[in-house]
Homo-oligomer: A and B are copies of this chain.
């Protein structure tokens, strides 16, 4: 086995392509771009962009990964309860992305939405920051 990633035993209901894309994102933990994923998974049998995009679309739909719109990248979901809602911090200097786990923030957003009588189906929140290491330098 020359695989560079470890096949997890979960995610059994996924198809082959969906699983290898998800595994890559899971093992990476940071946002990856579609064509990077394609290059990385050539050896696993993914040959065309469409194979990657179809897997990504499905995984987004299942809530297992998120798309970070402003950087055209995909990242594993860090939470269990996002549904299709997303909230990230993005460092403006180094590009580092973190999913916001803070339950209070998410609750606050929900309250906020209720208070403003917005009937939303989902949301995408991108907070641009200077991350700790970038703030020092």
Which positions in A face B, CB cutoff 8 Å? 69-70, 89, 92, 102, 104-105, 108-109, 112-113, 115-116, 118-130
> Whole-angstrom distance between the alpha carbons of A104 and B121 in the complex?
21
- In the complex, are the beta carbons of A130 and B121 less than 8 A apart? yes
Q: Is the interface of A mostly helix, strand, loop or mixed?
A: mixed
Q: Which residues of B contact A70 (CB under 8 A)?
A: 69, 124
6 closest A-B pairs by beta carbon, nearest first, are: A69-B69, A124-B126, A69-B70, A120-B127, A108-B112, A122-B128
Q: Which of B105, B112, B118, B125 contacts A129 (CB 8 A)?
A: B118
**Cross-interface CB contact of A112 among B105, B119, B120, B122, cutoff 8 Å:** B105
Instruction: Contact check, B121 vs A129: say whether CB atoms are below 8 A apart.
Output: yes
On whether the beta carbons of A119 and B125 are closer than 8 Å, the reply is no
Pairs across A and B, CB under 8 Å, 24 listed: A69-B69, A69-B70, A69-B126, A70-B124, A89-B118, A89-B120, A104-B115, A105-B112, A105-B116, A108-B112, A108-B115, A112-B112, A113-B127, A119-B129, A119-B130, A120-B127, A120-B128, A121-B129, A121-B130, A123-B125, A123-B128, A124-B126, A125-B125, A126-B126
**Whole-angstrom distance from the CB of A115 to the nearest CB of chain B?**
7
